[in-house]
Amino acid sequence: MTKRYGTDAAATAAVDGLYLSVPEGELFGFLGENGAGKTTTIKMLTGLIPPSSGVARIGGWDVGRDPLEAKRLVGYIPDNPFLYERLTGSEFLRFMGDLYGVPPDAARERDLLRLFELDAKAETPIGDYSRGMRQKVALAAALLHDPRALFLDEPTVGLDPRSTRLLADVLRAVAARGTAVFLSTHVLSIASGLCDRVGILHKGRLVALGTPAALTDDGRRSLEEAFLSLTGGVGAEGEVARLLGSGTGGRAG
């Protein structure tokens, strides 16, 4: 897939010739610096924006040609989920179930809210939720219809360490049941410890693809070091000090 913004010769390629396949049951980590094209990729895969060229398929369905069939298979948590703040947590899950055509199942709704430690707030309006609680109710809603492909764009934003660990456990369990999990994150320790494979996007192009062990030379370097090497990041203390200067000449006494 390719996504270009603009129509003239100077059009910007946000995603440039991406070819990628994620099988059922795989936990796939999608890494890249800010502006690399990660969110644009996820939006094309979930049918929110069309590619300029190329095709996205979910479970064999063409997202552009057969959007309803493809989207029925998808769960999606954006980096900043939009939630109806006047609905309670329980009401939001019922609403999402209606959208996906899932028969009402109060027991499943309660189980999901309990799983994400929201059962005590089930009848509280979402407008009163913290950022982390909003993230967790969005996760619960995305899992309600047992998606075959689950997309998460920076899902740990707003989560405390306990909730981050819970998220990791949930994603492992979801993948073990056969769901393809596509996870965009800046937290390299999560990608290294959780994901089966990792792809690194740089300026819209996929510059690395493989298991965390392969990308880190079987642990001889960290995933952070591999990432910085592939994306041209500043990774040495001496270089940082050089760019910042000595830091002492203009300091007031």
Q: For residues 198 and 26, is the Cβ–Cβ distance under 8 A?
A: no
Residues 76-130 pLDDT 10s: 999 888 899 999 999 999 999 999 988 888 899 999 999 999 999 999 999 999 9
Helices (H) and strands (E) counted in the chain, each on its own, are: 10, 10
User: What is the average pLDDT value for the chain, to the nearest integer?
Assistant: 89
What pLDDT was estimated at residue 46? 95
What's the gap between Cα 135 and its chain centre? Answer: 12
What pLDDT was estimated at residue 184? 95
Per-residue pLDDT band at 253 (split at 50, 70, 90):
very low
By the 10 Å C-beta count (0-12 exposed, 13-18 middle, 19+ buried), 77 is classed as buried
Is the pLDDT higher at 73 or at 12?
Answer: 73
62 contacts: CB under 8 Å, gap ≥ 6:
55, 56, 70
